[in-house]
Amino acid sequence: MSNTDDEPDLGPGAVPFKPDLTHPASSQPASPDPWVSPSAGQTGPRHSAEQPTGPWGSVPPGRNGPWEGTRPRSPLGPPAPESAPGPTAPMRAAAPMPASHAPEPEHTAPRPPLGPPGPPSAPARTATPPPWYAGQVQPGPLPYATMPMPLAGQPSGPPSGPPAGQPPGRSRLPGWVWPTVAILALVVGLVGGALGGAAYDALRGRDTATDTTSQADDGTGPLNAGNRSVSAVAKRLLPSTVQVIASYQGVAGGATGSGFVLDRQGHIVTNNHVVADSAASGEPIQVVDQDGNRYDAELVGRSPVYDLAVLYSADVERLRPAALGSSSRLQVGDEVVAIGSPLGLTSTVTAGIVSAVNRPVTTGQSSDDMSYINAVQTDAAINPGNSGGPLVNLRGQVVGVNSAIATTGASTEVSGNIGVGFAIPIEQVRVTAQQILDDGEARYPVIGATVETATNDGEGARVDEVPDGTPAATAGLEPDDLITRIDGVRVTDGIALIVAIRSHLPGDAVELTLVRDGSERRVRVVLDSKVG
């Protein structure tokens, strides 16, 4: 089945975006209500020296450096799996550093490292993903096999001569035997060849069956099985990837990042932290395509909670939209490709593997811009400027949005790539982008209680406050309850719980397992929603 020119094949189960071109006014994300914010006096989650920093580069005037993953006590938005070492989101300095990068004169070339990086921190435990992230990856196609052709019995070697008593040149076998053997050998050979061909076709069919919906003409479907390489992915995705330049305080390029074309209507996906300052001050945003052409862009909407933003530019309607895949099908060890503009170097391609899935990551400096990501971890090189760019599988489909990197120390300075990068799963990107296209804003699920996020003893998420009238209060949660599971999946701390909750949708019902006064009980909570 082939796609039409108007609706590219976005991968199995994908629904193409059909946005209304009349964009709702870009609304500023509402400040989180007190009952969904960290407890008073808790500035952020505790982070270690190894906490990741966002892939941002230098930050605009008045900003601290790239973020380091802080662990503020935050409301229970959808919890997430066990938190991993606080990666620095590509946002500001206290949390993982955003991949956006404020260009400097030397951005045209990477800076030499100031010193050898310290040893990477021990990876945090990965929590089991919530149900809708738990899809198992389908095993890859078996390699093509050929079946050996059966051979007629062969003598070990020619006889040295005719048997004694037998005239030379005469066979001791009756004359009808050899024609019969020849016919049998031919029949066996034909059958063996047919079986071998059938086996080859069957295995090849298994390898290409999932590509039957691809469209070879317009380049929007998955790459053919025989053409899955980093170079093929680069050729397919580079025309769909752009550099995002957001001015700040009158400085052109106050922050730079990356993005990719979402649909044929001119919408572009990037990280919120790339455009947040520009959007707040009403300053211009531009995008640059592979050929260096610059186009004006406008903000459609953004979500600080999920660190995503959608832009619109009529001039990029001619650019090919990227095909969207599925991050839930990823397996550790799968090859992936990161594309973007690290350190201002446009159209840069790096490759690596999926290092982990469902990795709880926090980014941001305060409760107002804190993001909780159930991330795909990769060792593909990601640096300041990669933020908002696509993470792509070898089928040529976007499986995540590069958003944060880990650093080796507590310093707010960006240390650059150390092989620990994080991407927002494409499933979350689909949902949030569609909400923004429909309403100009995104909504995220909450249970209404606040939990402690500054501690990580691995026991669970400790409830701090339960305001009246919230879903948590309705379900019977009480302060000091220890939440240990959500829908049967273990959570080790407050960050893991929040990430897991935010993997759901507002209105979903979840089952929380908690311990109170030494006794275990289960409660059902219907998730409320907040704008952010």
pLDDT digit string, tens, across residues 247-304? 887 666 578 999 999 999 999 999 999 999 999 889 999 999 999 999 999 999 999 9
Per annotation, catalytic residue among 74, 313, 387, 403: 387
As a whole number of angstroms, the distance between CA 54 and CA 402 comes to 10
CB count within 10 Å of CB 161 equals 8
3-state secondary structure of 70: coil
Instruction: List the one residue out of 370, 353, 351, 352 whose CA is nearest residue 361.
Output: 370
Please state whether the predicted TM-score (pTM) of the whole model is above 0.85: no
Per annotation, catalytic residue among 9, 263, 289, 307: 307
* Residue 46 tokens, joined: 């505790």
As a whole number of angstroms, the distance between CA 511 and CA 489 comes to 10
How confident is the model over 216-236, as a mean pLDDT? 76
Q: What's residue 312's pLDDT? A: 97
As a whole number of angstroms, the distance between CA 434 and CA 17 comes to 7
Q: Cα–Cα distances in Å, from 159 out to 155, 172, 177, 299?
A: 9, 12, 18, 87
Measured over the CA atoms of residue 500, residue 506, residue 509 and residue 515, the dihedral's sign is: positive
DSSP type of residue 339:
E
3-state secondary structure of 289: coil
Q: Do the beta carbons of residue 258 and residue 243 sit within 8 Å?
A: yes
CB count within 10 Å of CB 370 equals 32
Tokens 């076998």, residue located: 173
Instruction: List the one residue out of 16, 153, 74, 3 whose CA is nearest residue 362.
Output: 74
Can you list the alpha helix ranges (DSSP code H) found in 397-532?
Answer: 426-439, 471-475, 494-501
The letter for the amino acid at 529 is S
Q: Helices then strands (H, E): number in the chain?
A: 6, 22
For residue 273, indicate whether it is catalytic: yes
As a whole number of angstroms, the distance between CA 214 and CA 236 comes to 13
Tokens 């620095």, residue located: 88
Element (H or E) spanning 166, and its range? none
CB count within 10 Å of CB 390 equals 31
Note the Cα 355 to chain centre separation in Å.
11
For residue 26, indicate whether it is catalytic: no
3-state secondary structure of 297: strand
Least confident residue range of 21-35, 174-188, 299-313, 377-391: 21-35
Per annotation, catalytic residue among 273, 379, 403, 503: 273
Between 145 and 113, whose confidence is greater?
113
Q: What's residue 210's pLDDT? A: 28
CB count within 10 Å of CB 241 equals 28
DSSP type of residue 328:
G
pLDDT, one tens digit per residue, over 357-410 is 999 998 876 666 788 999 999 999 999 999 999 999 999 999 999 999 998 765
As a whole number of angstroms, the distance between CA 366 and CA 45 comes to 10
Instruction: List the one residue out of 209, 262, 312 whose CA is nearest residue 8.
Output: 262
Least confident residue range of 68-77, 137-146, 172-181, 398-407: 137-146
Phi/psi at 68 (5° precision): -115, 145
